[in-house]
Amino acid sequence: MKKVGLDAGHAGFNVTPGKRTPDGEYEWNFNDAVIDAAAKRLYEYENVQVVRTDDPTGRTDVSLAERVRRANAAGVDVFISAHHNANTGKWGTWTGTETYVNSPKSANPNSMKLANKVHPKVVKAYGLRDRGIKDEGFYVIKYTNMAAILVEGGYMDSSIDIKKLRDSKVLAAAGKAIADGVADYLDLKLKPVKKPVVTPSNSKQHVVEKGDTFYSIAKKYGMKVDDLTAYNARIKPTELKVGDIIHLVKFPGTDKPVPKPAPKPKPKPTKPKGPKAIGEITIVNVSKAAIIQDRPDRNASKSLGTVAKGKKMKVTGSVKGKHSDSGYWEVIHNGKLAYITGEYGKYKAY
Ligand SMILES: [Zn+2]
């Protein structure tokens, strides 16, 4: 069993002074995203255990000495600390990814070997300038007693790099790159990917028994007969034999695709044609009949016919019109709108 120490630099939630972007984002959040992805990827390898040396909740800024103590006490085989750089703390165009080993390089050959496995992958993941592998006596890589590196993924105060740091896919890729580099260094093997094996024994099927019909089988499994016959188009329903294998689900490659039922045409809403009546009038106040006018204007209208006293007409409303103090009834005559002088109609609403 190999052990990997993973360390997200600093902490979040206002417990670390500084260590933020000019917009106030915590460095720890970027570091944590990388370390978290590295841990997830490492567990895709066999015989490996991750030891996290920072507070994975980000609520405590674990001291550098404590981080080192945890790594040494757990006896991890490698130690990786993830950080993101800052230059002036104000937005600028400095850029790039760098990896640190304890100084001098010549005195830390294992750390250099680890850095050489991890750094190129991480540079590729961020897609930023390669600032190279450097040496510096940073506390966590100086006092840990195993191969140890510190990755500065990119500049938090760079208008170029911040785009990468704010992209969760980039941070996830950086974490995966660290894990894959570590796996290469430790010679870890990926776990075999288990694929579900589909065999006839676990596919859904029915073996025909004496007396079975497509209808009885469909009924037994709560299926539609049409679906069942479609899934088994290779068998004629009239030639069903005992021992035949009947597919209860669509079985790729062996049968014709199930034809989709043609969509039923939606019934069109039946709109009543022509004007809609709201009531009726009875013809009154005339000697024999009232004139049905083509417009609400006694003087300028054309006669469409007459309607006898006492007869009823359907009314759609009333209008003011011209040349009648009593206005006009808007009536339905032969399915079209027509007009009767107001005083000739006695109205009753429906
Ligand atoms: Zn840092």
Distance, CA 122 to ligand 1 centroid (Å)?
A: 17
Residue length of the chain: 350
Distance, CA 84 to ligand 1 centroid (Å)?
A: 5
Distance, CA 188 to ligand 1 centroid (Å)?
A: 28
Coil, strand or helix: which one is 122?
Answer: helix
Residue 313 — φ and ψ, nearest 5°?
-135, 145
Beta-carbon neighbour count of residue 238 at 10 Å?
Answer: 7
pLDDT in tens, the chain (350 residues): 999 999 999 999 888 877 999 999 999 999 999 999 999 999 999 999 999 999 999 999 999 999 999 999 999 999 999 999 999 999 999 999 999 999 999 999 999 999 999 999 999 999 999 999 999 999 999 999 999 999 999 999 999 999 999 999 999 999 999 999 999 999 999 998 876 655 544 457 888 888 898 889 888 888 888 888 888 888 888 888 888 888 888 766 555 555 667 777 777 766 666 788 899 999 999 999 999 999 999 889 999 999 999 999 999 999 999 998 889 999 999 999 999 999 999 999 98
Distance, CA 159 to ligand 1 centroid (Å)?
A: 18
Alpha helices in the chain (DSSP H): 27-42, 64-74, 109-126, 139-142, 161-165, 168-186, 214-220, 225-231
Largest CA distance in the chain: 127
Residue 152 — φ and ψ, nearest 5°?
-105, 100
